[in-house]
Structure 1
Amino acid sequence: QLITTTPEFNSNNLAYKTGKKRVPTTPAPAAPVPYKAIVVLALNGGLDSFNVLTPHKSCPLYKSYAKERDDVKLEPDEMLMIDASSSENQPCTSFGVHHKIPIFKEIYEEGLGIFFANTGHLSKPVTKRNYFTETMTQLFSHNTMTQESYIVDAFQINEPTGILGRMLDVLAAKNITVGPIGISTASTILDGDPQTGRKVDVIPTYGPNILTRRSFIPNTANGIDEVKENLEDLNGETGVNSGIHANYWSQNLIDTWNKADELSVLLQSVQLGTRFSGNLGQKFATVSKLIKTHEQRGVNRDAFFVSMGGFDAHAYAKANLDGNLPVVNSAIKAFYREMTDSNMIDNITFVMTSEFGRTITGNSGGGTDHAWGGNYFLFGGMMRGGRILGEYPKSFGNNDPTNMGRGRLIPTTSWDALWYGVAQWFGIDTPDELKDVLPNNGNFGCRLYTDSDLYHDGKNSISGCGAKLMNFDMGMFIGEPRYLTGIEQKRICEAAIQLVSGETDLASRCVIIDQKVIVNFEEKDFDSFAWNEGEESRRLRVLQNGFTNSTNNTYELRAVVEINVGNSTNNNSTNITTQSISPGKIGNAIADNLLTLVKIPNVTEFSEISPYTPTPSRTPSAQPTLSSAPSGMPSVVPSSSPSDMPSRSPSGAPSDVPSRSPSDMPSDVPSRSPSDMPSSSPSDIPSRSPTDVPSVVPSRSPTDMPSGMPSNSPSDVPSADMPSDAPSRSPSDMPSSSPSDIPSRSPT
């Protein structure tokens, strides 16, 4: 078996030995910076995370959750309440954590844990209408979505690297010593640029394996002395005329052999104060030992990857979590205790992920199926915890803007948004470094979380955000019915950013938030075109298949461009203003330069640049409109606030909020509260002020002023201090305090 260790066997090169022993590579010395580590736990298979973080029974949203989840819902006694009142824009002030993972509640309530709600892979912000055409991946696939969660590079600009690997590349370039370590398995998330030559260390669950005689000859003694000399000779120093691949193999073998021996001895010397149990627990025990020995290892930044499978619950979803979550809870609890007791908790960020969430609606087998957005958990000693970030769904019904059907939720927070602030905390400082680590972060505008959002010691903001937000329509004539590709969208935005920065000395961010294809048909073709609003992908196929051959058709692509203009790109600039910036000016400048700068295929000219103005829908919508103008059709969903415009016809139901202006037509339903204005016709409810028309129903209390009309029935209470101008229609049971013009029926 010794032949399998030779450079000739493992490369196509000849190795010319010098006769000298090969010396292990000396590690670079650690830089004088504080130690930090990121620990990722991937729960593979698709965690049913809407049963990990649920609406609490005290929240009205629980009814929607329980209705849609049905048999797979958490019952009220299966959740642990957490307070979310300090979390912004969440539908509940109280949420529930699955009772089988109480460590999440404990860390959250200690102020060190953050939930990220409805998070997942995105190429850009999308809606139910455009997600299919704007998402650059194969949704709902285990392999694809796992890779997307590891690389966090939607357009694969830096393929085949991972999010942690790119962080370590940037830090290593700044002479910070780094350690990418997979526990029992390698992962794309740790892979950096292959040109750096940096290797990922894969350490078994219980610690590093060491090379022994038994590695070559089974059932023999473990001593290495008999084969050590042979191994060193076979992989000795080579001369300059040897192949580089042969030299690389031998050096890598000697370095790994030496490192494994040293690390094995080092970790055996570490005593842990916490008991770790089970396979996952032992993985975190090894991570704990590595963190506690960072000084001896000479490492400034560690990135650890740990995984556990078994969460693909197409059947018995509740039983799946009941069985798996206690294992996760035990491992995280022991790790959290060990880090806290050893005063290392401030130096770590723990990130729990899964490739995707699962359907809200269960299947016939009591399970759930592959979906998209999910809920994930982060913790660390410097975290501004006790909060839920992102946007938890406001409903679980099909009318919710994020629900694609069957409870497959479109993420409202991207992996880019989660990792942005973590990368800044880890030492990725500048916009250029962040672009290397998160090449698609610009496609989310200012929809990102900085280290200031996540950590107590955070100090960074998002370059290009904070001063002015503008949207404008960009129209262009195109030779075929198609949308801009993701790369073309990014090129347009790069041109816009360059123009803004060049003219104003201001940083900016840009994203194309919507696209529409407008087709001008030949009249003979129009009747055959089926217009199905909302089915963008189908409509585009109809256009491409049915009308491409019509020479007189024209196609106009209209894109809604969002520009954020923020802080200065020049820190010495003191006279910065955004007043001269306008959507039209930026848009026209882009149009003037785009045909030559960006070179989008088939774009012949730009049709129009104009400020973006949302328009009301022509048909009832399941979502409220962005427009302030009244719609010609009623909304499927009631408005949460009164309209500035009166309704064109009376409503069939009373309004909870009084109208800001009177209706042109009377309502068939009475108001729920009295009006401050007198009625022009009899009302079943008394007026707050006297009217010239008698009330149909007697007043329950005296009026403040005398009425000009007699009452239809005697009052139970005498009038106020002023006499009435009209006689009573029936005698009073109370004597008068002054003479009357009408005789009394009884003596006074």
Structure 2
Amino acid sequence: MRHDHSPLVTRTRRRFLREASALLGAAALGSAAQAQSASPYKALVCIFLFGGNDGHNTVVPMSTAAYNAYKSIRGGLALPGNDATLVQVATPGGVPYGFNSGLNAIVPLWGQGKLAVLANVGMLARPMTRQQYLDGSVKAPTQLFSHSDQIVQMQAGDPNGSGGTGWAGRAADQLQSQNGTSRFPASISMAGNALFCAGNVVQSASLIPGFDLSADGMNVWPDTAAAARRNALNSLLTMDSGMTLIQSANKVRQDAISLNSLLSGAGAATVSTPFPGTSIGQQLLQVAKIIKLRPTTGMARQVFFCSLDGFDTHSGQSWQQMDLLRQLAEAMSAFYTATVELGVADGVTTFTESDFGRTLQPSGSGSDHGWGSHHLIMGGAVRGGNVYGSFPFPALGGPDDAGSRGALLPSTSLDQYGATLAKWFGVSATQMASVFPNLGYFSTPDLGFMS
């Protein structure tokens, strides 16, 4: 089993400034508001759980037979069936489940119908049974159980790797006309460069929450000297040198300065809802601030990428995962409250992805690389309070096991998951094949969790 680690996220200042060239037209945004599109605003917000989140201990089946089977196989890694470790919820049909107590902050959204679970999702090339996987009679995704490969595939929506674009970027490509004449980025990562955001046409950008892009040395005394410096810098940046490389570099800096004024300067977007000071909390706060700027930017369709790392839990999983899920839930809860504050709760859908799930059978105090996992979907347009897809019965070597250790054979493909979100986002049936070329192999392209 491979344990390589090559995440697609980097957070260097130099990379940020290189990628700021994607912020075409941002300078104009600081001085004149774009006309708001006639389309109602919608945004998709992906939170990628790097390392492979253990779905088995995120959402636990609580019917007597299923819980007893889970507890027997998981051994010391099993979560006791009490409120201290598992918060019990139920579907409309009365089927009981337990949320990891780390998710306490978003459990109320389940009861409000704003939070749903999609069970056993993973990358698939074709629908397949356990026997078809074992005998190789149906094609499987390449390089299963490899962090780097599965990160690429889950963001690209491609079981064979990457064609250089992500599925959200391709969805934004199809809907670029919804944003009218606005040239503000339709696809933005808050966690460094992300394949998920890359389109064939739409420009993407990456931001670092809290990173001040204002030019150094511009606040000297007296004010006339500061003004002279700013004027000199502006003259350099706007001067036509006739050299493409220099002009591109100047454009990067112009856009960065303009964006800084939008995000952190006087009159910048502010959100009253308090957010946690965690990395994921600050990423989602930045998303909320950009969404608030929509009357200025003129955007009607945007996609965002955020991330939380640390889910490669080969040891010490119980407390480690609980704390990571706590960070996730507290940030998600604050973000949903902020969307209510901004009046866009019905137009913003937040969802999780991860490299893969983990094995049901433990490995000491942790678990090993798996395949399918359970994911969370949150928002005002979500048909919440329910579990979608096919929730597996805990068993080793059963029909849901790709091997003998409870690495779930996905019953729902990433294509179906993403296509359901993309349809709500506005991607039409005729456009969907450009976003998910593999979708035609699956009989249910809309899983029903969006209204």
> TM-score interval w.r.t. the shorter chain?
0.7 to 0.9
Do structure 1's residue 281 and structure 2's residue 254 form an aligned pair? no
Tell me the CA shift for residue 288 of structure 1: 1.6
Tell me the CA shift for residue 204 of structure 1: 2.0
- Equivalent in 104, 107, 117 of residue 105 of structure 1: 107
Tell me the CA shift for residue 396 of structure 1: 1.8
Do structure 1's residue 150 and structure 2's residue 155 form an aligned pair? yes
Secondary structure of 1:235 counterpart: helix
Counterpart code for 1:361: Q
Secondary structure of 1:42 counterpart: strand
Do structure 1's residue 384 and structure 2's residue 383 form an aligned pair? yes
**How do 1:680-699 residues align onto structure 2 when only pairs under 5 Å count?**
none
Determine the structure 2 residue equivalent to 1:595.
Answer: none
Determine the structure 2 residue equivalent to 1:291.
Answer: 291
Distance of aligned partners of 1:214 and 1:367 in 2 relative to their CA distance in 1, 3 Å threshold: farther
Tell me the CA shift for residue 159 of structure 1: 1.3
Do structure 1's residue 64 and structure 2's residue 69 form an aligned pair? yes
Determine the structure 1 residue equivalent to 2:215.
Answer: 211
Counterpart code for 2:105: I
Distance of aligned partners of 1:338 and 1:401 in 2 relative to their CA distance in 1, 3 Å threshold: closer
Contact 1:313/1:367, CA 8 A, preserved across alignment: yes
Contact 1:396/1:403, CA 8 A, preserved across alignment: no
Do structure 1's residue 170 and structure 2's residue 177 form an aligned pair? no
Q: 1: distance between equivalents of 2:216 and 2:55?
A: 44
Tell me the CA shift for residue 395 of structure 1: 3.5
Tell me the CA shift for residue 174 of structure 1: 5.4
Tell me the CA shift for residue 23 of structure 1: 11
Tell me the CA shift for residue 213 of structure 1: 2.5
Q: 1: distance between equivalents of 2:312 and 2:26?
A: 48
Counterpart code for 1:76: G
Counterpart code for 1:354: S
- Equivalent in 119, 144, 159 of residue 163 of structure 2: 159
Determine the structure 2 residue equivalent to 1:455.
Answer: 450
Tell me the CA shift for residue 399 of structure 1: 2.6
Residues 42-65 of structure 1 deviation map (CA, whole Å, 9 limit, x = unaligned):
111111111010011x43111111
Distance of aligned partners of 1:161 and 1:49 in 2 relative to their CA distance in 1, 3 Å threshold: same
Determine the structure 2 residue equivalent to 1:317.
Answer: 317
Secondary structure of 1:454 counterpart: coil
Contact 2:77/2:318, CA 8 A, preserved across alignment: yes
Larger Rg, first or second structure (1 or 2): 1
Do structure 1's residue 186 and structure 2's residue 193 form an aligned pair? yes
Determine the structure 2 residue equivalent to 1:40.
Answer: 46
Contact 2:262/2:269, CA 8 A, preserved across alignment: no
Contact 1:155/1:440, CA 8 A, preserved across alignment: no
Q: 2: distance between equivalents of 1:23 and 1:107?
A: 36
Secondary structure of 2:337 counterpart: helix
**How do 1:412-427 residues align onto structure 2 when only pairs under 5 Å count?**
412-427=411-426
**How do 1:411-560 residues align onto structure 2 when only pairs under 5 Å count?**
411-431=410-430, 433-444=431-442, 446-449=443-446, 453-456=448-451
Determine the structure 2 residue equivalent to 1:370.
Answer: 369
Secondary structure of 2:118 counterpart: strand
Distance of aligned partners of 1:305 and 1:317 in 2 relative to their CA distance in 1, 3 Å threshold: same
TM-score, normalised with respect to structure 1? 0.52
Quote the RMSD (CA, aligned, Å): 2.9
Q: 2: distance between equivalents of 1:55 and 1:454?
A: 19
Distance of aligned partners of 1:264 and 1:341 in 2 relative to their CA distance in 1, 3 Å threshold: closer
Residues 203-243 of structure 1 deviation map (CA, whole Å, 9 limit, x = unaligned):
2222653222289x9xxx9x96564344334433437xx35
Tell me the CA shift for residue 277 of structure 1: 3.2
Tell me the CA shift for residue 343 of structure 1: 2.7
Tell me the CA shift for residue 400 of structure 1: 3.1
**How do 1:354-369 residues align onto structure 2 when only pairs under 5 Å count?**
354-364=354-364, 366-369=365-368
Secondary structure of 1:75 counterpart: coil
Do structure 1's residue 201 and structure 2's residue 205 form an aligned pair? yes
Determine the structure 2 residue equivalent to 1:717.
Answer: none
Distance of aligned partners of 1:454 and 1:399 in 2 relative to their CA distance in 1, 3 Å threshold: closer
Tell me the CA shift for residue 267 of structure 1: 6.6
Greater mean deviation of Cα atoms: 331-340 or 145-154 = 331-340
Tell me the CA shift for residue 304 of structure 1: 1.3
Unmatched 5+ residue regions in structure 1?
11-21, 87-91, 457-748
- Equivalent in 83, 90, 115 of residue 90 of structure 2: 83
Contact 1:118/1:373, CA 8 A, preserved across alignment: yes
Determine the structure 2 residue equivalent to 1:607.
Answer: none
Contact 2:263/2:269, CA 8 A, preserved across alignment: no
Q: 2: distance between equivalents of 1:336 and 1:122?
A: 31
Determine the structure 1 residue equivalent to 2:4.
Answer: none
Q: 1: distance between equivalents of 2:195 and 2:275?
A: 30
Tell me the CA shift for residue 36 of structure 1: 0.9
Distance of aligned partners of 1:209 and 1:247 in 2 relative to their CA distance in 1, 3 Å threshold: closer
Q: 1: distance between equivalents of 2:40 and 2:302?
A: 12
Determine the structure 2 residue equivalent to 1:139.
Answer: 144
Tell me the CA shift for residue 279 of structure 1: 2.9
Counterpart code for 2:310: G
Determine the structure 1 residue equivalent to 2:127.
Answer: 125
- Percent identity, aligned pairs only? 24
Contact 1:267/1:289, CA 8 A, preserved across alignment: no
Distance of aligned partners of 1:224 and 1:330 in 2 relative to their CA distance in 1, 3 Å threshold: farther
Secondary structure of 2:424 counterpart: helix
Tell me the CA shift for residue 250 of structure 1: 3.0
Tell me the CA shift for residue 322 of structure 1: 2.7
Counterpart code for 2:129: T
Determine the structure 2 residue equivalent to 1:306.
Answer: 306
Secondary structure of 1:318 counterpart: helix
Greater mean deviation of Cα atoms: 102-111 or 175-184 = 175-184
Q: 2: distance between equivalents of 1:226 and 1:188?
A: 41
Determine the structure 2 residue equivalent to 1:705.
Answer: none
Secondary structure of 1:238 counterpart: coil
Q: 2: distance between equivalents of 1:232 and 1:168?
A: 33
Distance of aligned partners of 1:359 and 1:189 in 2 relative to their CA distance in 1, 3 Å threshold: same
Residues 372-429 of structure 1 deviation map (CA, whole Å, 9 limit, x = unaligned):
0000000110111111111111242223343411111111101110111211111111
Contact 2:49/2:309, CA 8 A, preserved across alignment: yes
Determine the structure 2 residue equivalent to 1:686.
Answer: none
Q: 2: distance between equivalents of 1:405 and 1:140?
A: 15
Do structure 1's residue 49 and structure 2's residue 30 form an aligned pair? no
Secondary structure of 1:76 counterpart: coil
Secondary structure of 1:422 counterpart: helix
Q: 2: distance between equivalents of 1:74 and 1:214?
A: 56
Moved over 6 A (4+): none
Unmatched 5+ residue regions in structure 2?
1-13, 19-24
Q: 2: distance between equivalents of 1:302 and 1:399?
A: 41
Larger relative helix fraction: 2
Secondary structure of 1:129 counterpart: helix
**How do 1:569-648 residues align onto structure 2 when only pairs under 5 Å count?**
none
Contact 1:97/1:104, CA 8 A, preserved across alignment: no
Q: 2: distance between equivalents of 1:374 and 1:23?
A: 39
Tell me the CA shift for residue 296 of structure 1: 1.9
Higher relative contact order (Cα pairs below 8 Å, separated by 6+ residues): 2
Distance of aligned partners of 1:259 and 1:275 in 2 relative to their CA distance in 1, 3 Å threshold: closer
Tell me the CA shift for residue 248 of structure 1: 3.4
Distance of aligned partners of 1:120 and 1:164 in 2 relative to their CA distance in 1, 3 Å threshold: same
TM-score, normalised with respect to structure 2? 0.84
Contact 2:123/2:141, CA 8 A, preserved across alignment: no
Contact 2:275/2:331, CA 8 A, preserved across alignment: no
Secondary structure of 1:372 counterpart: coil
Determine the structure 2 residue equivalent to 1:681.
Answer: none
Determine the structure 2 residue equivalent to 1:465.
Answer: none
Secondary structure of 2:131 counterpart: coil
Distance of aligned partners of 1:79 and 1:395 in 2 relative to their CA distance in 1, 3 Å threshold: same
